[in-house]
Amino acid sequence: MLKALTLLLLFQLAGEVLSRLLDLPVPGPVVGMALMFLLLLARGGPDSDLRETSNTLLSHLSLLFVPAGTGVLLHIQRVAEEWLALSVALVGSTLIGIAVTALVLNAMIRRGRRDEAGS
């Protein structure tokens, strides 16, 4: 647990340093995720300690968004002023984003299977 947590923090730190050093548009933790993925590729997978710790952390992923979500308090006035445009844009674009991604991916996978079967 402690070892795995330290490893995760070390990779986040490495990601943070790399992101700043190379002036990447992506924040440190995402770079850290990519680095961790490379480590797993090299090692042939996580050990049980790392697997269990990441499972624990990810099983409560929703909790970690609560503090930032409560930040809506800071913007109550603007939300009240522009609520219509906001709700339409948020609801519409989220549904469109999910639908377009799912339909395109589904169609591409089917085409791939057909090509495989045909060749």
Q: How far is the CB of 81 from another protein (least distance, A)?
A: 9
26/36 Cα distance (integer angstroms) = 15
Token pair 């979500």 in the structure block, residue? 69
Q: Which of residues 97-116 bind another protein (CB under 8 A)?
A: 97-106, 108-109, 112
6/13 Cα distance (integer angstroms) = 10
Q: How far is the CB of 118 from another protein (least distance, A)?
A: 17
CB atoms within 10 A of CB 108: 10
Cβ neighbours of residue 39 closer than 8 Å, sequence gap 6 or more: 11
The two tokens of residue 93 are 């674009």
Check residue 18 for interaction with another protein (CB under 8 A). no
Check residue 66 for interaction with another protein (CB under 8 A). yes
Check residue 86 for interaction with another protein (CB under 8 A). yes
Check residue 77 for interaction with another protein (CB under 8 A). no
Q: Which of residues 34-53 bind another protein (CB under 8 A)?
A: 34, 36-37, 39-41, 45-46, 50-51, 53
Check residue 61 for interaction with another protein (CB under 8 A). yes
